Structure formats: C-alpha cells, structure tokens
Chain A
Amino acid sequence: MNKFWAIHHHETLEIHPDTSLPDPHQDTFSKTVLGFWMYLMTDTLLFTSLFTTYAVLHNSTFGGPSSRDLFSLSTSFAETMILLFSSVTCGFAMLSALRSDKNKVIGWLAVSFLLGASFIAMELHEFAHLAQEGNSWRRSAFLSSFFTLVGTHGLHVSFGLLWMVVMMAQVFSVGVTIDTFRRLVCFSLFWHFLDLIWIFIFTFVYLMGVI
C-alpha cells in the first residue's frame, strides 16, 4: 500500500513539471534571505507576546511606582534618535556595499556600532538607576514586564553589535563578496527590524506611560 502510494505520488510529481517559468527563488541568496526573514517574523511574534504582557500588567504596580513616576521622556527621546541614526547609517553601509567600497562599508558599520553601543549604554544606565532606587524587576508585575520587554530588545541590539563586529572583520579580510554581501543584507534586515520594534516601545511604554 505504501509502495503503491509512493509510486503514484512520484508519478504525479514528475508528469507535469511546470517548466514554463524559471523559479527565481532557487539560489542561495534568495533562500537565505527568505529564511532570515522568517526568523524575523517569529521574533515579531515573540515581541508581540511581550508587548501584550506589558499591556495587561502595566497597571499592576503592587503599591509601587507607576510608569508616570519612573520614565523620562528626554532619555527615551535620545535613545530613539540614536537608534534611528544607527539604522540609517547601517543603510549607508549597505549602499557602500552595492558599490563594493570596502572601506566605506567598514566605516559606516563602525558609526552604526558606536551609535548602537551608546544606545545600550544609555539603556543600562537607565536600568541601573531604576534598580538602585529599589525599582528593579522584583518590585512589581509592571516592572517585571517592563524589564522583560525592553531588556529583550536590548539583548537583541547587543547581539546585533556582536554581529556587526564580525561583519566588519569579514569585510576587512575578504572585501564585498557573494557571501559577505548576503550576510550584510541579513544584518541590515536585523538592524532595521530592531528600530521598527523600538517605535512601538517608545510609543507604548514611554509615551503612553506618561500620558
């Protein structure tokens, strides 16, 4: 029975192969970028659950401070600007990669790295300040969900910084090749994606937090 089915299935596959159009997605570049895009979409769902958790818990302060008492708009505005600039300088690195301008790719990646690192520094400073005043993730459900959401984003940015160092080293040693260009495309998707997530963090957490 199984054998019969296998043969039958095999025949239906082979008898009508659609060769009228070449499939444009059979090369390593397209397959990798599609696979990486799917990873980003699963990451979107991870952030969706964290945002939803925050939305449900942000009033559960357990007698502790609320978002209105804690968040500073000047810090979050600076963080937003830094991440947006980092996103666009990463784009400039990609445009330099299109022209195979090795030094400019490394230069723009270095600028993105410094901006990303200062973003992480500001965030860690903010977290340390909250923890010092007794408002760590252990204080209330609101603060637990806040640290989980913003911390997960920060962790992603930190991994992005590590990836950027690796890409700078690879471009430095082999230049812009098929392999490094493909990795740069994936990296730029990752970096722009993190800026996209941040739009919703500054809107839902920081802006709506002080309204």
Chain B
Amino acid sequence: MSSELSLNEIKKEWHGTFKAYMIGFFSSLFLTGLSFFLVIERLFSEQNLMYVILALAIVQAIVQLLFFLHVGQEAKPRWESVVFGFTVLILLIVAIGSIWVMHDLKERVMPEMTHTPSTNP
C-alpha cells in the first residue's frame, strides 16, 4: 500500500527557500546582537534585563523554528507539529515544575543554614 516518491517529489516535501534562510539569518543576527548589546551596556535593571533577554531568546527560537526547521509547514496531517507541541508541553512542565519545587525547597530549608564556604579549595 506504500507508495514511494521520486526524487523530485521528495524535493517538494522540503520547504527551505533562499528567502526564508535570509530572513531567518538576519533576524537571528539582529536578535543575538541586541541581546549581547543590552547585557554589555546594561540598559535595564538586573531583573528587567533577565526578562528582556529571555524574551529575545524565545523570539529567536521561534524565528529559527519557522525559517530553519520549517515547523508547521509539512503536509497534513501535521504529525511533526503535534509531536513538537507535546514536547513543548512536557518541557514547560519539567522545567518550570523543577525550578519551582527547588526554589520553594531552598526558601523553606536554607534560612537556618548559613552558607559556609569550605576553607580548603
């Protein structure tokens, strides 16, 4: 029942174009440059700087997902997008969950314990 595709048909299944690569490349260049510039110049307070460069990283990740990895551009049914969406869900649960739990644990346990750096290196 499986029908094999010819080389030309396969080439149509891959969605990269020169224009897409250029858009992805220059956007990434700009976003990377902006991140480093903001940190070197320290244009915001520490807390705000964290949020801004995190946002810039997420924007750059989305740009590269769309223009380099062609997420969401495959033929229907879009299994790759489904798998990707599920992965992002698990990623957020694991990452945010772990950091939340460990942060909470640190606040509950650490106040009684003073940080004692070891004397011998």
Interface of A toward B, CB cutoff 8 Å:
22, 24-30, 33-34, 37-38, 41, 44-45, 48-49, 51-52, 55-56, 62-64, 73, 77, 80-81, 84, 87-88, 91-92, 94-95, 98, 134, 176-178, 181-182, 185, 188-189, 192-193, 195-196, 199-200, 202-204, 207-208, 210-211
Q: Are B16 and A91 in contact (CB under 8 A)?
A: yes
Per-position binary interface string of chain B over residues 47-72, scored 1 when its CB falls under 8 Å from any chain A CB and 0 otherwise: 00110011011001100110011000
In the complex where A196-B64, A199-B64 touch, is A92 in contact with B21 (Cβ < 8 A)? yes
Q: Known A-B contacts: A56-B99, A207-B39. Give 12 more (CB < 8 A).
A: A29-B13, A37-B84, A41-B87, A56-B102, A87-B25, A92-B21, A95-B17, A95-B18, A181-B11, A200-B57, A202-B35, A207-B35
B108 located at the interface, meaning its Cβ lies under 8 Å from any Cβ of chain A in the complex: no
Q: Are B99 and A55 in contact (CB under 8 A)?
A: yes
Q: Are A45 and B7 in contact (CB under 8 A)?
A: no
Interface residue SS majority, chain B? helix
Q: Are B39 and A80 in contact (CB under 8 A)?
A: no
Cα of A22 to Cα of B77 in the assembled complex, Å: 11
**What 5 A-B pairs come out closest when comparing CB atoms?**
A63-B117, A203-B57, A192-B68, A41-B87, A91-B21
In the complex where A27-B3, A192-B64, A211-B49 touch, is A52 in contact with B16 (Cβ < 8 A)? no
- CB-defined contacts of B21 to chain A, threshold 8 Å: 88, 91-92, 95
